Structure 1
Amino acid sequence: MSIPDTASMPMFLRAEDFSFSDEFSDLVEFSFLPGRDDMVPWVEYSGGLPPKSLWGDSICGENTITIQSDMYDFLDMGALSFVPSDETLLKILETAEHNRKCPLDDRITLGDDIPEFNTELCEYTLTIARSITETIFTRDPYTGIVQEHSPPYPDIPRFKLTANPWMVSTHAYGAAFCHRIHLPLVQRVGASIESGTLPTVFKPVFKPASFRRNNVPTLTCGTSGSDVA
């Protein structure tokens, strides 16, 4: 197998390639949208998904990445977030606005073959809340070389993730709100996703704790969230 010529290509990190420790030894799965998050029905509707396809059971490849365990709480609280490129955010905005105006069966889905939604093409920057002052370590996915980064972290490379950019941008929207991070386009996209009137069929139905769906239409449930190099 040929080794990529890293000198001639930009380096993109995987989600598992950054940590507060230089050991990179303990991996866990992280879901951008918890199954009962208030935004889930809105993402289903605006993103062209079937009703209840994520609600209550959001563990699927489109919503999950593999990270170092010491980053979990910071991502979960929104102190760390990934922000898609402006091109991707604008396409999400365009799609959400289209889907609110058309019949449910005519919606564009977040899984459609659209370049801006292609996980192999999407690029992300890491947004870091001002409250974080620790040294961040990054690892070259090809060579394994580890580098240190100090606040304000000006030289952290971009990332590629396996999760769908709709899920990632919705998480960034919540992070911007909670931590007062100035991300105008992210905030515009998030506000658009949850605007208008949510059709009744998408409104959550609370089930007993023992209830669990066996599958999620259109999503690769049960798949791994490990990232691409």
Structure 2
Amino acid sequence: MATPYTEDCISFTGIFGEPVGFPIFTDPQNPFLRLHELGSGMKSGEIIKSLYEPGNYLYLQRDFGARAFFSGHAFVPLDETLQAMANIYQKNQQCLYEDRARIKINLDALECTFVAATMSRPLFLRHPITGIITKHEHPYPAFPTIRLRTADPIMVASKACYQLSTSLQKRPNLLLQFEDAQEYFYRNPPIRWFSRANRPVIPKPPLIPAPPSATASSLLPAHCIVRPAMSTTTPSTQDRRLRKRQRDTAPSGECPPTKRSRGAPCIPLRRNPPRAAKNNGRKM
């Protein structure tokens, strides 16, 4: 079984931290989104809700996420996924608006290839199990497939059409077929489907924290129980050490360290004689 690399295993710097959820689309009026809404069997306005759902998010390292949606490179679903989506689009072309079928893709098995159509910086890949980091130079011939954690494959493929639009020689044939099937609905949409009238103004989807990854926990043996680290010292030993540390670090006062009676007040030592004594000494 191949190692399930996820999108948060990629970095430009080789420094890996907690991933962040970056929205794939932020504008509900984006033509690729509207085509997806129409071709995939959604109702008008339904795509707005999907902008805030997990299907619109890629969980990426911050340095990679800041550049992941630039033109010239993209995540592209595998051929069988692209073919299944294109088939539904083509079927919906022959149906009435109310008879369109919804696209159903197994998100648990969604994998993508990373396509770089233009020269790009080296990429660092962290192994999800061992944590070993490897460096990959463009065009990344040894780069593995990437399993997306929650992203909708049509969102990813629609974004890839935009990101690779200026690099025809690097676009997979099935991605071109998928785009052609999408554009049919742009030429033959229902009346006022692409009109901006009566469209509410909504805030852009924000960056969100990534949900915990199930990769590491799923690979632990069933009998393995993780316990918190226990101290090797006994409570009495800890108490003696604590009392000694408190005595050693207690702030020193002005009182002399000599023994005194319990009722005697603490009188500070006077290091300099009073001013009156100084003046009498000068007169004498």
Give the structure-1-normalised TM-score. Answer: 0.79
1:187 alignment counterpart? 176
2:31 alignment counterpart? 38
> Are 1:118 and 2:106 counterparts?
yes
What one-letter code is carried by the residue in structure 1 that aligns with 2:55?
E
Is the 1:64–1:225 Cα contact (8 Å) retained in structure 2? no
1:199 alignment counterpart? 190
Is the 1:31–1:63 Cα contact (8 Å) retained in structure 2? yes
How far apart in 1 are the matches of 2:152 and 2:22?
Answer: 13
Residue 80 and residue 182 in structure 1: after superposition, are their counterparts in 2 closer, same or farther (change >3 A)? closer
Alpha-carbon offset, residue 212 of structure 1:
3.3
How far apart in 2 are the matches of 1:101 and 1:13?
Answer: 38
> Are 1:10 and 2:35 counterparts?
no
How far apart in 1 are the matches of 2:174 and 2:11?
Answer: 27
How far apart in 1 are the matches of 2:182 and 2:143?
Answer: 29
Alpha-carbon offset, residue 56 of structure 1:
8.7
1:53-68 mapped onto 2 (5 Å cutoff): 53-55=46-48, 58-68=51-61
Residue 206 and residue 124 in structure 1: after superposition, are their counterparts in 2 closer, same or farther (change >3 A)? same
> Are 1:174 and 2:174 counterparts?
no
2:77 to 80, 84, 88: 84
How far apart in 2 are the matches of 1:202 and 1:225?
Answer: 34
Alpha-carbon offset, residue 130 of structure 1:
2.1
Ranges in structure 1 where 5+ consecutive residues have no aligned partner: 1-8, 214-221
Q: 120-129 vs 180-189, which deviates more?
A: 180-189
How far apart in 2 are the matches of 1:183 and 1:82?
Answer: 12
Residue 25 and residue 223 in structure 1: after superposition, are their counterparts in 2 closer, same or farther (change >3 A)? closer
| CA-to-aligned-CA distance 1:140-183 (integer Å, 9 cap, x gap) | 12222211111221111111112111111111111221344332
How far apart in 2 are the matches of 1:72 and 1:167?
Answer: 16
How far apart in 2 are the matches of 1:198 and 1:58?
Answer: 22
Alpha-carbon offset, residue 64 of structure 1:
1.1
Alpha-carbon offset, residue 25 of structure 1:
2.1
Q: 140-149 vs 20-29, which deviates more?
A: 20-29
Percentage of matched positions with identical amino acids: 23
What one-letter code is carried by the residue in structure 2 that aligns with 1:150?
E
1:78-157 mapped onto 2 (5 Å cutoff): 78-110=71-103, 112=104, 117-132=105-120, 134-157=121-144
Residue 67 and residue 160 in structure 1: after superposition, are their counterparts in 2 closer, same or farther (change >3 A)? same
Report the secondary structure of 1:105's partner residue. Answer: helix
1:19 to 11, 25, 50: 11
Ranges in structure 2 where 5+ consecutive residues have no aligned partner: 216-284
Report the secondary structure of 2:108's partner residue. Answer: coil
Report the secondary structure of 1:151's partner residue. Answer: coil
How far apart in 2 are the matches of 1:84 and 1:144?
Answer: 25
RMSD: 2.6
How far apart in 1 are the matches of 2:153 and 2:47?
Answer: 15
Alpha-carbon offset, residue 72 of structure 1:
2.5
What one-letter code is carried by the residue in structure 2 that aligns with 1:45?
L
2:232 alignment counterpart? none
| CA-to-aligned-CA distance 1:186-226 (integer Å, 9 cap, x gap) | 012112112141113532425688x339xxxxxxxx99765
Give the structure-2-normalised TM-score. Answer: 0.65
Corresponding residue pairs, total: 206
1:6 alignment counterpart? none
Report the secondary structure of 1:81's partner residue. Answer: strand
How far apart in 2 are the matches of 1:126 and 1:143?
Answer: 22
Q: 74-83 vs 42-51, which deviates more?
A: 74-83
